[in-house]
Amino acid sequence: MNKKINKLIQEFGQTYSEELGIDLESKKSGEIFKWFLASILFGKRIGENIAKSTYMEFKKEGILTPRRILNAGWDRLVKILDAGGYVRYDYSTATRLLGICKNLLEWYGGSLLNLHNSSKNPRDLEKRLQMFKGIGPVTTNIFLREMRTIWKKADPEPSERIKKAAQKLGISIKNINRKTKSFARLECALLRWGKNAHRRN
């Protein structure tokens, strides 16, 4: 990677999972679910800081597994979402989380690793994720971009936001190996740079 990319990664390239204290490198099912939950929160049109704050409320309450989310129930989930500032989508997100966790337990024994292992290829993996009601292309992309080095079949196409930021900076991402930690960091860096550039304009 060239100097421009290295500088960008150095300045903005901490992954979002790392920022939240989620250890994806451990490849543990529990850590992967935590990132899945965070990705669901990031996936709505809501401020990044609100999504982070709301995830930390789930962490504080110890509700970070499919079973614990179901046991918490709708009213308690709404309270956690509100405490994190996720007020705009609190009711719908509580309902969505309960449905996703119920289906994850029924279809894959509560394990996202089972979902991955059942997938034939990267596109099938994306399709299976989007079979959960409320999981669309945006949330799928957020989740899988940091899973590229964790799961063999995780290889989403970089989002339009990332492509636009790269284009503005004159960075070609086409020929960079996407199955590396440095590419995940580059994607996060391009996202943050793009958001900062948008705020400046």
On whether residue 137 sits in a domain, the answer given is: yes
CATH code of 150's domain: 1.10.340.30
How many domains in the chain?
Answer: 1
Interval 122-176: pLDDT, tens? 999 999 999 999 999 999 999 999 999 999 999 999 999 999 999 999 999 998 9
So what's the pLDDT on residue 201? 47
Domain that includes residue 51, residue range: 3-196
The answer to the question of residue 108 being in a domain is yes
Is 17 a domain residue?
yes
Instruction: Give 195's pLDDT tier (boundaries 50, 70, 90).
Output: confident
In a domain, 62, yes or no: yes
Is the residue at 201 inside a domain? no
Using a cut of 0.75, tell me whether the model's pTM lies above it. yes
Report pLDDT for 187: 97
Distance CA 130, CA 153 (A): 15
Confidence of residue 198 (pLDDT cuts 50, 70, 90): low
What was the pLDDT predicted at 2?
85
Q: Is the pLDDT of residue 200 over 60?
A: no
Share of the chain above pLDDT 90, in %: 93
- Per-residue pLDDT tens for 72-90? 999 999 999 999 999 999 9
